[in-house]
Amino acid sequence: MAKKDLLSIYDLSAEEIKGILNKAFELKSERKHLDVFKGKILGLIFEKPSTRTMVSFTAAMLQLGGTSVFLNTENLQRKRGESIHDTAIVLSRYLNGLMIRSFKHSDLEEFAKYSTVSVINGLTDHEHPCQILADIMTVMELHKTKTVEALKKIKIVYAGDSNNIANSLLAISAVLGLDFTLISPKEYSPKKEILNKALEYTSSTGAEIKITSDVNEAKNADVIYTDVWTSMGFEAEEKERKKIFAPYQVNSELLKKASSKCIVLHCLPAIRGEEITKEIMDKYENSIFPQAENR
């Protein structure tokens, strides 16, 4: 089987995304150990702290008959200066695949360039594709839509920082032709090149993409999604970000603008009282925690 990397949502066609979602629903419904990865080993490289990414990949490999090896970069020779080139080549000879959770997207791309086994993005500063695939699966489950085509009738709104989650939501909306609104302070809007890439798809897929700083654009939302205001690596900006993002908090007032069937999503970890209130977090735990499970 040819090597296939997943560094970005854009590495997948609409048909491939549909296939992944169909397979995910199938495997979830079976709820038993399978042997599709029997004898396969997935390396898990972590530069950043992790709960869901680490546990979900580890559990999935075991449930599918394979195994995984946790590789903390603090304990690898990369810490002492070994090149990505050499590390990727060596690990390719031991493993059947690599999942990498990295600060720099360019490091992930370099790993993929020299690795002879498939590389999966477990989060970078640029994208978080596996999270967003699980999110779309969750939207389909909770809105009881059986096809990706039916998703086009669902209005998805993201409120907060235009971070890796927002970038991947933009990408999957563009590829699948979804109705997606990103609400963020103007100074934290998506980078021009990221937005332009998404907009390139709209003419062929029919995606409706809107970028705004007006929280009233959450009107009639069927999904409201948020993430922390200060992502890993931006801790020095935390105090200023709290002030700027305060109007974009997911709270009861924002939910009043949404449709009566609206669900709330959060990729977690959440800081209750900042990007989302404790009240809303508790009220919508029946969508947020299934979202985490679908990872």
pLDDT digits (tens, 9 = 90+) for 225-236: 999 999 877 889
182 with 72, same domain: the answer is: no
Q: What is the mean pLDDT of the chain?
A: 96
Among this protein's residues, is 295 annotated catalytic? yes
113 and 171 within one domain: no
DSSP state for residue 121 in the 8-state scheme: E
What whole-number distance in Å separates Cα of residue 44 and Cα of residue 98? 6
Known catalytic residue at 63: no
Q: Assess whether 41 and 172 both reside in one domain.
A: no
Model confidence band, residue 106 (pLDDT cutoffs 50, 70, 90): very high
- Do 143 and 284 reside in the same domain of the chain? yes
Task: Answer yes or no: is 272 within a domain.
Answer: yes
% the chain with pLDDT above 70: 99
Same domain, 102 and 175: no
Quote the pLDDT of residue 234. Answer: 83
- The string of pLDDT tens digits covering residues 56-68 is 999 999 999 999 9
pTM: 0.95
The tally of CA atoms less than 13 A away on the side-chain side of residue 271 is: 12
Cα 276–Cα 289–Cα 181 angle in degrees, nearest 5: 50
Contact 46, 54 (CB under 8 A): yes
CB of 180 within 8 A of CB of 153? no
Looking at 82, 101, 123, the residue that finishes a domain is 123
Active site residue 101: yes
- Residue 17 placed within a domain: no
Query: In which domain, by residue range, is 221 found?
Result: 129-294
Say yes or no: 75 and 148 in one domain.
Answer: no
Query: CATH number for the domain including 75?
Result: 3.40.50.1370
| pLDDT band, very low/low/confident/very high, at 1 (cuts 50, 70, 90) | low
Residue 203 confidence (pLDDT):
94
Q: Looking at the 3D structure of the chain, how many domains does it have?
A: 2
Which of 105, 123, 141 lies at the terminal end of a domain, its last residue? 123
Q: Is 77 a catalytic residue?
A: no
Give domain status of residue 10, yes or no.
no
Catalytic residue among 161, 179, 267, 291: 267
Collapsing DSSP states into helix, strand and coil, what is residue 46? strand
Q: What is the token pair recorded at 142?
A: 């909770």
Pull the structure tokens for residue 49. 């702290």
Q: Do 105 and 133 fall within a single domain?
A: no
Residue 232 is assigned to a structural domain of this protein: yes
**What does the pLDDT read at residue 32?**
66
> Which of the residues 52, 126, 130, 131 is marked catalytic?
131
Instruction: Report the pLDDT value the prediction gives residue 22, as an integer from 0 to 100.
Output: 94
Does 215 lie in the same domain as 135? Answer: yes
pLDDT (tens digit per residue) in 10-44 = 999 999 999 999 999 999 988 666 898 999 999 99
